[in-house]
Amino acid sequence: MKRIAAALLTLVASPAWAEQRDLCPERPGLDTPACIVDRGHVLVETGMVDWTLDKQPDSRTDTILIGDTLVRVGVTDTVEARVGWTPYGHERVRDRQTGTIERVGQSGDVSLGLKASLLHPDGSGLAVAALPFVTVPVGGSRIGDGAVGAGFLLPITYALSEAVQLDATPEIDAQPNEDRDGRHLHYSAAGGATFKLGKAVSLAAEGQVIRDVDPDGRTTQALAALSVAWQPQDDWQFDVFGVAGLNHDAPDVELSAGISRRF
């Protein structure tokens, strides 16, 4: 009997029987949360549709992404593996002087990465994680980068209370040049706050500054975003997301709707 009791205690104490963490998708928003997917679980996050409008003095560009998906797999209690892919993107460019329209439809690149928790993998209190990644150019050069790239994020979250959480995500990348010959520095900082409006609904307000030092033209984008997420069940989330460009270099607007499911 003592042996049976000891075996039962071992099972109950094992991670497989530990209390499941709160659902913590990276959709929607500009920031990346520091939480890690539970070991042995898979979280699939899909942007059902994403539309971006970028107006320039000589052109208007509409980009639509369908099924942009990130799969996160809990490998250990503190590490998750990740793969992302955009199966289809459509870009429409209209020359505002001549009225000429160019259309391109193609798939995007694949991103591969690991997110390792440095503090509080469940996202409670002050949580910090390290997220290195690489992009593999399997898609077209208009929707994807057209060359191998790499980057590093440092997601940071701090729960002020059960209803308010602060978020920050610095990022630095080696991004392919516009002409696909070599790479250049690309870095950004995002920050904001997430507010719980009830048991199942949350609202996030965020901002981001992106600096790109491409040899063909340096740009600085300033963005502001609002998003709403609804979790009707423990393993499901639906979201809507809107971004406004605050300066000339930034796209005018981005709208997105998506779904996340934990298995």
Q: Is the pLDDT of residue 128 over 50?
A: yes
pLDDT of residue 154: 98
The whole-number average pLDDT for the span 156-167 is 96
pLDDT category at 146 given cuts 50, 70, 90 is confident
Write phi, then psi, for 6 (nearest 5 degrees): -65, -40
pLDDT of residue 72: 98
Q: Whole-number mean pLDDT of the chain?
A: 92
pLDDT of residue 18: 56
Q: How far is CA 176 from CA 107, 110, 112, 214, in A?
A: 17, 14, 16, 8
Q: What digits encode the pLDDT tens for the residues 64-109?
A: 999 999 999 999 999 999 999 999 999 999 998 898 999 999 999 9
Q: Is the pLDDT of residue 111 over 50?
A: yes
Q: How far is CA 107 from CA 136, 143, 239, in A?
A: 12, 7, 23
pLDDT category at 145 given cuts 50, 70, 90 is confident
| Domains along the sequence of the chain with CATH | 21-262 (2.40.128.130)
pLDDT of residue 8: 30
Q: What digits encode the pLDDT tens for the residues 217-242?
A: 899 999 999 999 999 999 999 999 99
Q: Which of 69-73, 127-131, 136-140 has the lowest mean pLDDT?
A: 136-140
pLDDT category at 27 given cuts 50, 70, 90 is very high
pLDDT category at 15 given cuts 50, 70, 90 is very low
Q: Is the pLDDT of residue 12 over 60?
A: no
pLDDT category at 254 given cuts 50, 70, 90 is very high
The whole-number average pLDDT for the span 172-188 is 91
Q: Which of 22-36, 171-185, 210-224 has the lowest mean pLDDT?
A: 171-185
Q: Is the pLDDT of residue 10 over 60?
A: no
Q: pTM to 2 decimals? A: 0.89
Nearest to 60 by CA among 102, 96, 105: 96
74-79's contacts with Cβ under 8 Å and 24+ in sequence apart are: 74/36, 74/37, 74/38, 74/39, 74/40, 74/41, 74/42, 75/39, 76/39, 77/15, 77/36, 77/39, 77/121, 78/36, 78/116, 78/117, 78/121, 79/36, 79/114, 79/115, 79/116, 79/117
